[in-house]
Amino acid sequence: MSAVDQRVAVPLRLRSAVVLGLASLIGLMMLGWPLLLEADPTQRVDPPFLFLGLLPVILAVVLAEISEGGMDARVLAILGVLSAVNAVLRGVSAGTAGLELVFFLLILGGRVFGPGFGFVLGCTSLFASALMTAGVGPWLPFQMLVAGWVGMFAGLLPRRVSGRWEIVMLVAYGVLAAYAYGLLMNLWGWPFILGIQVPGQDSTDLSYAPGAPLLENLHRFVVYTLLTSTGGWDTGRAITNALAIALLGPAVLTTLRRAARRARVERRGAVSSRDVAGPTLP
């Protein structure tokens, strides 16, 4: 496992990368709309339910683009298996306070199979677990998107790091990803959970106030997220991630790399000749 393979299972074409980038930008705007919206403070602002319907469409377009031109059967099978394992891990760990194992395999999978695979795996894992544990709801597309980013950035980490440093890097990333995921999902839920300040009606001091200056809203949001999640769930998730990656990471990486070696997609050019430069079996 010292030799880190440079190739990845689902290569991201330039076109797919552009689509993924655009969709990420849109997603970010949809998550952070309370901080971006310039509204008239005297008017009633409803949470933009439009976004709840729009994001699934965007996700569908991205997934269609990444799998455009066909996904290799081996990659697909591994994607299915990893999504299932992830869904089970999430289901198993959901009940235990803060012990969410969702990201552990997602990060390792993204690391081994590359950013494109990581993104798709993040989406499918959350989707599969939602189907399993009654988690389908308006939040799901946003969770899928953010989990997709977690997997994607795991795949974009520097490839040349290996051995113990690789684990250190992944642990650090795992902690970062846990907090970032919590923060982004909080940003999404904030206007829904606390409501939006409506002129004429009162609301909480932490609610989103349309039309208020950006700093004011940011401040409210930061206090909200510190109060609600950072002390509890997010930190629990970060610790679980770090521990799981540090302790199980090396063994699971070996296993994943063995699978990756066998699931390597030969490029068309190589197959058409009669000599396939595949892995040599011992």
Partner 1 sequence: MFELREVTFRYGDRPVLDRVDLAIDHGELVLLAGPTGVGKSTLLGVVAGLVPAFTGGTLTGDVVIDGESVLDRPARERAHVVGYVGQNPPAWFVTDTVEEELAFGMEQLGLAAPTMRRRVEETLDLLGIADLRHRDLRTLSGGQQQRVAIGSVLTTHPRLLVLDEPTSALDPTAAEEVLATLTRLVHDLGVSVLVAEHRLERVVPFADRLCLLGAGGQLRVGDPAELLVDSPIAPPLVELGRLAGWSPLPLTVRDARRRTADLRARLGPPPVVVPEVPAPESTETGPEVQVRRLLVTHGSVPALRDVDLSLTPATVTALMGRNGAGKSTLLWALQGRYSATRGTVRVAGKDPHRLKPDARRRATGLVPQSPADLLYLETVAEECAAADRTASAAPGTCAGLLERLAPGIDPAGHPRDLSEGQRLALAVAIVLTAGPPVLLLDEPTRGLDYPGKHALAEILRGLAADGRTILVATHDVEFVAQVADEVVVLAEGEVVSSGTVRDVIAESPAFAPQVTKVLGPGWLRVDEVAAALASSDPTAAEVPS
Partner 2 sequence: MRLPRDLHPVAWWCWAVGLAVGASCTTNPYLLGLLLAVATITVFACRGDQPWARSFRLYLWLGLVVLVIRVLFRVLVGGNDAGHVLLSMPEIPLPDWAAGISLLGPFSREELLAAIYEGLRLATLLIAVGAANALANPKRLMKSMPPALYEVGTAMVVAITVIPQLADSARRVRAAQQLRGGERGRGHRVRSVRRLLVPILEDAFERSLSLAAGMDARGYGRAGTATAGQRRSTGALMILGLIGICVGVYAFLDSTAPRLLAWPMLALGLVAALAGFVLAGRRVQRTRYRPERWHTTEVLVALSGVVVGAGLWLVQRGEPLVAHPGVLAVPELSLVAVVAILVGIAPVFVAPPPLTARNRAPVAPEPAEEPAKVAA
272 touches partner 1 by CB under 8 A: yes
Output 130 or 154, the one with its CB closest to partner 2: 130
d(CA 144, CA 127): 7
87 touches partner 2 by CB under 8 A: yes
Output 158 or 223, the one with its CB closest to partner 2: 223
CB 90 within 8 A of CB 133: yes
270 touches partner 2 by CB under 8 A: no
**Non-local CB neighbours of 58 within 8 Å, separated by 6+ positions:** 23, 26, 27
279 touches partner 1 by CB under 8 A: yes
HSE-CB for 221 with a 13 A CA cutoff: 27
193 touches partner 2 by CB under 8 A: yes
Quote the least distance from Cβ 87 to partner 1, whole Å.
16
Contact partner, 134, from partner 1, partner 2, none, Cβ < 5-8 Å per class: partner 2
d(CA 281, CA 267): 19
Tell me, residue by residue from 208 to 227, as one string, x for binding to partner 2 by CB under 8 A and - for no binding: -----------xx--x---x
**Non-local CB neighbours of 56 within 8 Å, separated by 6+ positions:** 141
Quote the least distance from Cβ 271 to partner 1, whole Å.
6
Quote the least distance from Cβ 282 to partner 1, whole Å.
6
Nearest in space to 203 (alpha carbons), one of 45, 70, 73: 45
Q: Say how many residues touch partner 2, by CB under 8 A.
A: 86
